[in-house]
Amino acid sequence: MNRVLVIGSGGREHALAWRLSQSSTVEKTFVAPGNAGTALESAIENVGLDTTDFPQVIEFCQEKDIALVVVGPEQPLVDGMVDTLAEAGIACFGPSAQAAQLEGSKAFAKDFLQRHNIPTATYGEFTDVVAAHDYLTKQSFPIVIKADGLAAGKGVVIAEDLAQAKDTVEDMLEANKFGDAGSRIIIEEFLVGEEASYIVVADGKNFIPMATSQDHKARDNGDVGPNTGGMGAYSPAPVVTPVIDQQVAEKVIQATLDGMAKDGMPFTGFLYAGLMIDARGQAKVLEFNVRFGDPETQPIMTRLQSNLDELCLAAINGKLDTMVCKWDKRYALGVVMAEKGYPFSYAKGNPIQGLDTIDGEVKVFHAGTANQGDETVTSGGRVLCVCALADELQAAQKKAYQAVKKISWGSEYYRTDIGFKAL
């Protein structure tokens, strides 16, 4: 029986920890630092570790005899958590710092994609304003400008015309709007189509696809308004037809694993390809994430029936080819409830009402929440992700929104159309 530790505090980590805690081979699940939702789960224990202090994490793992660490967010991966824990003999699921550059540097990812002939938007890479402006005068609009480094999902600007594009370039390269993350930029072709998230578990060589899913990145109904971390997701995503699935598996995922191995940095962990699928069914890579998506994890974990710890351990040991993954055939749909004002400034500390009215058919994953006395209060932009399972997507949507309407803290905000593209 395994004792496992999840690193992180968001909705993704609540869903990963919840699924791990239900595994028939898991004895105990810890989350560091976790949130109010993980604190309320009887089978999960929050631990107040400083997760940027790797020696402290190692000491905890040794003391508690942890068989597996699963890292939720990208920052610790880019900072080398997997490498450091592995040196101490601790099985930590995720890519090495080198391999995590696929997310940590957009320039690294684009150069990698180009070098290995993996379909992606055409692009240029710049550190100099004059060269970037010069490139822009020869392009058509809209165009996409991206800060090279990690920018918490905010480093991508779609510029409608030359003037806005030039301003954005100056903001990033001169005004340092994204700090170091924006000292190098990518300018890339604007792709048209439908987005999908294709997430796999990889062991350096082999992979097993996690169920397909679709996120809703824009804040408001109909995919308008500012970009967010994601306002809701559902799984499976019919936009990924069996033909597209096959194409992505071969031409994107296997090609990426082969390329990374060839370049001397085999990729182990969750690999997430953000895709744009055009009207002809051709998929191009928008970005890589080296971790699970948030909120895609919530509906996907709702559907996973296999033991997640066994999958991660098989991947760490390079034995994914011996595993199969079992899924609930039903649809899962998750609606993110956020604080009004997100993704900009928002209030905190509002007591959440109605959580105890939600029955077993619906699962509420917490993100920005905290426990204060006997109350659960808001403590972040994305607060909850309310997930429902049903035979049809429409029924899952209805069930999720029925539950959403029972939860309130006065200043909640959510999209009312999650799943609209598939319905």
Residue least distant from ligand AMP (Cβ):
287
| Complex with ligand GLY: residue 213 or 307, whichever CB lies closer | 213
| Complex with ligand AMP: residue 144 or 385, whichever CB lies closer | 144
Q: Which of 45, 83, 195, 296 binds ligand GLY (CB under 6 A)?
A: 296
What whole-number distance in Å separates Cα of residue 268 and Cα of residue 271?
A: 8
Q: Does 343 bind ligand GLY (CB under 6 A)?
A: no
296 binds, among ligand GLY, ligand AMP, none (CB under 5 to 8 A by kind): ligand GLY
- Contact (CB, 8 A) for 257 and 205: yes
DSSP 9-56: -SHHHHHHHHHHHT-TTEEEEEEEE--HHHHH-TTEEE----TT-HHH
- Residue closest to 297 by CA, chosen among 207, 365, 369, 393: 365
DSSP, collapsed to helix, strand or coil, labels residue 65 as: coil
Q: Does 230 bind ligand GLY (CB under 6 A)?
A: yes
Q: Does 215 bind ligand GLY (CB under 6 A)?
A: yes
What whole-number distance in Å separates Cα of residue 197 and Cα of residue 90?
A: 30
Q: How many CB atoms lie within 10 A of CB 47?
A: 14
| Complex with ligand AMP: residue 245 or 287, whichever CB lies closer | 287
Q: Does 269 bind ligand GLY (CB under 6 A)?
A: no
What whole-number distance in Å separates Cα of residue 411 and Cα of residue 232?
A: 18
74 binds, among ligand AMP, ligand GLY, none (CB under 5 to 8 A by kind): none
Least distance CB 242 / ligand GLY (angstroms): 24
Least distance CB 78 / ligand AMP (angstroms): 15
Least distance CB 296 / ligand GLY (angstroms): 6
Q: How far is CA 90 from the centre of its chain?
A: 24
| Complex with ligand AMP: residue 41 or 194, whichever CB lies closer | 194
Least distance CB 28 / ligand GLY (angstroms): 27
| Complex with ligand AMP: residue 45 or 74, whichever CB lies closer | 74
- Residue closest to 301 by CA, chosen among 237, 246, 361, 365: 365
Q: Does 334 bind ligand GLY (CB under 6 A)?
A: no
| Complex with ligand AMP: residue 192 or 324, whichever CB lies closer | 192
73 binds, among ligand GLY, ligand AMP, none (CB under 5 to 8 A by kind): none
Torsion of CA 69, 91, 208, 232, to 10 degrees: 10
**For 221-287, what is the HEC assignment?**
HHHEEEECCCCEEEECCCCCCHHHHHHHHHHHHHHHHHHHHHCCCCCEEEEEEEEEECCCCCEEEEE
Structure tokens at 223: 């995919």
| Complex with ligand GLY: residue 296 or 339, whichever CB lies closer | 296
What whole-number distance in Å separates Cα of residue 47 and Cα of residue 152?
A: 24
Q: Which stretch binds ligand GLY (CB under 6 A): 41-49, 84-92, 288-296, 309-317?
A: 288-296
- Residue closest to 253 by CA, chosen among 239, 225, 273, 268: 273
User: Applying CB under 6 A, which residues contact ligand AMP?
Assistant: 121, 144, 146, 156, 188-191, 195, 217, 227, 274, 286-287
| Complex with ligand AMP: residue 217 or 382, whichever CB lies closer | 217
289 binds, among ligand GLY, ligand AMP, none (CB under 5 to 8 A by kind): ligand GLY
What whole-number distance in Å separates Cα of residue 133 and Cα of residue 163?
A: 10
What whole-number distance in Å separates Cα of residue 382 and Cα of residue 367?
A: 6
Q: Which of 293, 334, 343, 381 binds ligand GLY (CB under 6 A)?
A: 293
| Complex with ligand GLY: residue 73 or 206, whichever CB lies closer | 73
399 binds, among ligand AMP, ligand GLY, none (CB under 5 to 8 A by kind): none
Q: Which stretch binds ligand GLY (CB under 6 A): 138-146, 277-285, 291-299, 354-362?
A: 291-299
Give φ, ψ of 201 to 5 degrees.
-100, 125
Interface residues toward ligand GLY, by CB under 6 A: 215, 229-230, 289, 293-294, 296
